[in-house]
Structure 1
Amino acid sequence: MRLNNIEHVFFDLDHTLWDFDKNSALAFQEIFEDENLNLNLDDFLEVYLPINFKYWELYRNNAISKEALRYGRLKDSFDVLNFNTVDSTINLIADKYIEYLPKNNHLLEGSMELLLKLKDKYRLHIITNGFEEIQQKKMEASGIHEFFQTITTSEEAGVKKPHPQIFEMALKKSNALVEKSVMIGDNIEADIIGAYNYGLKVIHIDSYGQSSQGQHPKIEKLKEVLNYL
């Protein structure tokens, strides 16, 4: 089922176009080597990933600050692994992670090919809850920055997806009409339900086998976006 009368395509960034899991693992690998941490990376990532997901959910719901997220996800992961370290080391790792993360530039399969096919037909935009200081760097390092006419971050909007205000700001910046816009993202609550409730059409990239609510278009691979656009 193709989506008609679409002029503006809004993308989430992390886990949608930018391969957050791979780039994050590479950043931690470099940090562990720099700091000579006697900790197996695979063991760390196994506990870190669900903890990080939990902390981002809290951050998205304004239950914790950015600083609490950056510290807490590491502290909790080390605690689960019984890896003893001091707060100064945790804070150092948190700072290095923000520095190293955008240096890696892996995209999810099909990202570049999709953007190349869409760029001449639609106006493309980003709406992201990621930290403002690194999102632009990620896009520049991975070679996709040039595809997007606007980038709207949660820190700029003062609220995070799924709050309607961030979608309102994104559409205002892009001079887009809601009925001629579609949101593409991986997170059911933030990207799909948030955008749908604001009035946008949506496409859910279900890379992790999540259960999607409603009858929203759902895909597993980015190239399937072309079935709708």
Structure 2
Amino acid sequence: MPQIKHVFFDLDHTLWDFEKNSALSFESIFTEHTVPFSVEEFLHNYIPINLKYWKRYRLNEITKEELRYQRLKEAFDSVQFKATDHLINTIAELYILRLSEQKHLFDGSLEILNYLKAKYHLHIITNGFEEVQYKKMYNSGISNYFLTTTTSEDVMLKKPHPKVFQHALQKAKATTQESIMIGDNLEADIFGALDVGMDAIYFGNDTTFKGKRVEQLLELKKYL
């Protein structure tokens, strides 16, 4: 793809292994607070609940504070644990702190970033909270790979809103024709990028998507 000069990545679930890092964060918190059930049992319910609330947050149906509280409240309710508001708020704050300290990346992340950095300008576009996204990148050792980072809080909007991508392109001094987006979320990352005229590569296993797709990050070498 000789016309491509700028490669934009999503962060969570694309480079940074959100589920693994999330599990480790909850494990340490539950141990400290003697929560009476396993992390595995909790996560079985929490993961789909979290995705549901993130979608509502993306659609501006709830605030950041409501997201942080309600996803935990519903997850605790689902395992019949009557958590007090104080405990939920304490865990919510600790979770954000611990999450940003985790370092696990998906297999092939550093190798593909080294490969791409030699050929392209690299950037991040993320819907994650600004105060933790930069810490995640720094603590996992990938900050220096990226020339720009655009968060939803920069624009006060969230992917797939076109203004998020337009702001990121402007910040990177890039055009749509010379840019490509890589992400795990078809709605937010892939269709959002395609709708503004950027090319896109889906990182995931939904075989109904007929565009460019990889299931391992090193497969990006097929396209870039």
TM-score class, shorter-chain normalisation, is over 0.9
Partner of 1:217: 212
Partners of 1:106 and 1:212 lie apart in 2 by 29
> One-letter code of the match for 1:210?
D
Give the CA deviation at 1:4.
3.4
Partner of 1:101: 99
Partners of 1:93 and 1:122 lie apart in 2 by 40
Partner of 1:29: 27
Show the 5 A alignment for 1:8-19: 8-19=6-17
Normalised TM-score (structure 2): 0.98
Partners of 2:164 and 2:208 lie apart in 1 by 22
Structure 1: runs of 5+ lacking an equivalent: none
Structure 2: runs of 5+ lacking an equivalent: none
Give the CA deviation at 1:212.
4.3
Partners of 1:123 and 1:205 lie apart in 2 by 19
Contact 1:70/1:94, CA 8 A, preserved across alignment = yes
> One-letter code of the match for 1:135?
Q
Partner of 2:111: 113
Normalised TM-score (structure 1): 0.96
Give the CA deviation at 1:211.
4.8
Spell out, residue by residue over 1:4-47, the C-alpha distance to the aligned partner (whole angstroms, 9 max, x if none): 31000000000000000000000000100111111211000000
> One-letter code of the match for 2:206?
Q
Secondary structure (helix, strand or coil) at the match of 2:206 reads coil
> One-letter code of the match for 1:108?
F
Partners of 2:31 and 2:135 lie apart in 1 by 23
Partners of 1:212 and 1:11 lie apart in 2 by 22
Partners of 1:41 and 1:54 lie apart in 2 by 19
Partner of 2:171: 173
Partners of 2:195 and 2:2 lie apart in 1 by 19
Partner of 1:140: 138
Which of residues 185, 195, 219 is equivalent to 1:187? 185
Query: What is the root-mean-square deviation in Å for CA atoms of aligned residues?
Result: 0.8
Number of residues of Structure 1 aligned to a counterpart in Structure 2: 224
